[in-house]
Structure 1
């Protein structure tokens, strides 16, 4: 295989502790690919990885004009000096790469996704409309036009319910919630929304934990939605508990779910990396699509074929005109996000009045941060995590007003 074509990990907005970015970096780097990354500063986990060929300190906020961001990417392409595979690591970068693909094609290899599709998919209401059009089960959800409709929808959907920021970029510029949030009643809903008269938020039916299973599918789709690799996995824990990003998951066979996900990508003509979140509702026996992320998944290193191919390697091979080796998914792999998984296990057990279960990873677990052939990112992450905890604990003291 030819691994001489470089890759650039693209990101928009501050996310120094993006373990998905580090996973892709290690995957491609171990594959022999020269990997470059956009980083916030020289001391993020990605910036110190031994697998990194070069770093570009580009501390974006997500508030920039997309044309300026595109110009920045073109400058990075010229600095690398060769056409480069661009890997989107967040929703905003996926939208940027798709909508400006014609201009970026001078320096970057990109999947031929319809330009408008990633923005629709990253819109929670846009995804709801796609699911309705293609008869894909999804939890009941609505985007309120104003505060009055917000209250009415809350009463219609029933509590508890789930709140999500509605669009890519608006979640960076003016987030309503810091992450997917479950509210238990109307008072809590209004407290979370605050004084906004037109909140940019999706209100979604909550499927209770005893009636639900959380599943993941990761894909790489070629032109017109043809699936080249598809992986399925079971989500054990998340942070925040039961509503956030995956902190522990298993790679597990699920042909029915793989078929649903593959069929949807084919129907809508999606091309590129995809990370889909599904919730199995035991009450009606349906897998319901919760999120469609048109980019690299944070837990992408959970999945690998018996030939050693994961989603980002599949994209690299396809965009560089090489054959993607066949072979079934490797099942039984575990993925764990260190400290966050311990927090999730502990707090989840306390909420349910039980002892924490399966806290320690087993042999062969893929860890988000710790890797014996690349130890520095885990050291940097420990420092960043410790600083975040310290700031959270001392926040009440810092916010306390000095007596007159």
Structure 2
């Protein structure tokens, strides 16, 4: 078993900086800090686009420079490209661009011809990240390549919605269809469970154009397991590195960000991911969310994120190579060393873990899975390496603590009200005490 206290043996080219590119506004985000620390601890100068100068990553000792964006740039793609080129000129040398949200991944791919003067980018087909990040595009790709995915429908009008209200089996999951939609004109604020036809019609009563929303089959928690695969695909679209994990707790429970990620041995899922990436010609880092449906014994692809996943630090080889380090190695012309996944890793996102566990219990969701490997060690997404980098942790506590407490209190209050009205909460939906979950 590898010594967790020693630095990885792999050496990165410290003459080549990295730029963390993000477009959405999420100042408290453990995944971005993971990128900064993963590369920064090995001597790579890491620069970051931040919301302000007091975000956790902006305070990290591993950040060589910060570029504060106002948050209005995403309205204008041309302005985004101009701003990135301006950053590139300030850096004065090509930098490895690391996308941490779908919009950034789409922007880098679609404008690679211009941005390549300043940044080192995987040679992915320019249109592919947008198609993968689009739920419609992903559904079409899954269907074409025989990859299981939940049944999905795409209403375009009020008439479509009226017909679906009488045909669908409820509950169903409502999502925004495409990247940028959640920023510019979200049909729903986040992944949303709709419990009935009446609720469906009421929720979208004010929308005439429904082309931005999809309705997806809901796999009940009692019949489901949440899995994910993070991989780096080389220029031949082969998965040079692949890490499999299970989501034990999420925030919000059952549908949100990972709060507890556990490395897991699952060669079949790793092979399925590798086949799909190879067939579609994907290159670079990715994060795939799978849901195992016990009712038919199949893993179903829910999301394909064409960028670094928030929980990527759960996965690394026994020699300490994760997907971000693999990206930097490949973009600087170095070999990505093959290695076995370190199955003893468990990543806990501290700011999400406690409220996620509390709400998990309040919602009476099934117990979290046990870790499969012996000798499992927990690593804190914020506390890992915090002994030499403490300020991001302090900033996270100050910015997130009150929000988490308020969410827990709201959920507890909701449960009290539901009990008084004779209803109980099940996962993301509700049912009467007398019966049916439809």
TM-score range, shorter chain: over 0.9
In the TM superposition, what are the counterparts of 1:215-254 in structure 2 within 5 Å? Answer: 215-254=227-266
Structure 1 residues 338, 72: CA separation in 2 closer, same or farther (over 3 Å shift)? same
Structure 1 residues 332, 82: CA separation in 2 closer, same or farther (over 3 Å shift)? same
CA contact (8 A) 1:137 1:288 kept: yes
Shift of 1:374: 1.7
Shift of 1:392: 7.1
**1:302 paired residue number:** 314
RMSD: 2.2
Unmatched tracts of structure 1, length 5 or more? 396-404
Q: What is the alpha-carbon distance in structure 2 between the residues aligned to residue 68 and residue 190 of structure 1?
A: 38
Q: Give 3-state SS (helix, strand or coil) of 2:301's partner.
A: strand
User: Any idea what the Cα deviations from partners look like across 1:340-372, whole Å, max 9, x if unmatched?
Assistant: 2222211221222899999xxx98422222233
2:127 to 109, 116, 131: 116
Shift of 1:387: 4.6
Check if 1:352 corresponds to 2:364.
yes
Q: What is the alpha-carbon distance in structure 2 between the residues aligned to residue 229 and residue 62 of structure 1?
A: 34
User: Any idea what the Cα deviations from partners look like across 1:261-308, whole Å, max 9, x if unmatched?
Assistant: 000000000011100000111111111000000001000111110111
Q: What is the alpha-carbon distance in structure 2 between the residues aligned to residue 232 and residue 155 of structure 1?
A: 39
Structure 1 residues 168, 353: CA separation in 2 closer, same or farther (over 3 Å shift)? closer
May I ask how many residue pairs the two structures share in their alignment? 392
Check if 1:139 corresponds to 2:150.
yes
CA contact (8 A) 2:250 2:256 kept: yes
Q: What is the alpha-carbon distance in structure 1 between the residues aligned to residue 279 and residue 164 of structure 2?
A: 30
Structure 1 residues 43, 280: CA separation in 2 closer, same or farther (over 3 Å shift)? same
**1:38 paired residue number:** 49
Q: What is the alpha-carbon distance in structure 2 between the residues aligned to residue 394 and residue 348 of structure 1?
A: 13
CA contact (8 A) 2:51 2:71 kept: yes
**1:10 paired residue number:** 21
User: Any idea what the Cα deviations from partners look like across 1:205-231, whole Å, max 9, x if unmatched?
Assistant: 001111111100001111141211111
CA contact (8 A) 1:157 1:204 kept: no
Unmatched tracts of structure 2, length 5 or more? 1-10, 411-438
Shift of 1:191: 3.8
Q: Give 3-state SS (helix, strand or coil) of 1:223's partner.
A: coil
Q: What is the alpha-carbon distance in structure 2 between the residues aligned to residue 387 and residue 77 of structure 1?
A: 37
Q: What is the alpha-carbon distance in structure 2 between the residues aligned to residue 18 and residue 269 of structure 1?
A: 30
Structure 1 residues 62, 212: CA separation in 2 closer, same or farther (over 3 Å shift)? farther
Shift of 1:389: 5.2
CA contact (8 A) 2:318 2:340 kept: yes
Q: Give 3-state SS (helix, strand or coil) of 2:249's partner.
A: strand
**1:378 paired residue number:** 393
Check if 1:369 corresponds to 2:382.
yes
Check if 1:214 corresponds to 2:226.
yes
Shift of 1:256: 0.1
User: Any idea what the Cα deviations from partners look like across 1:306-325, whole Å, max 9, x if unmatched?
Assistant: 11100010010001000112
Shift of 1:9: 0.1
2:70 to 59, 62, 66: 59
In the TM superposition, what are the counterparts of 1:162-173 in structure 2 within 5 Å? Answer: 162-173=173-184
Check if 1:69 corresponds to 2:84.
no
Shift of 1:391: 7.8
User: Any idea what the Cα deviations from partners look like across 1:32-52, whole Å, max 9, x if unmatched?
Assistant: 111000001100011001111
CA contact (8 A) 1:345 1:356 kept: no
CA contact (8 A) 1:12 1:61 kept: no
Q: Give 3-state SS (helix, strand or coil) of 1:288's partner.
A: strand
**TM-score computed with the length of structure 1 as normaliser:** 0.92
Shift of 1:393: 9.9
Q: Give 3-state SS (helix, strand or coil) of 2:74's partner.
A: coil
1:128 to 134, 139, 162: 139
Which stretch shifts more, 260-269 or 365-374? Answer: 365-374
Q: What is the alpha-carbon distance in structure 1 between the residues aligned to residue 239 and residue 103 of structure 2?
A: 23
CA contact (8 A) 1:232 1:252 kept: yes
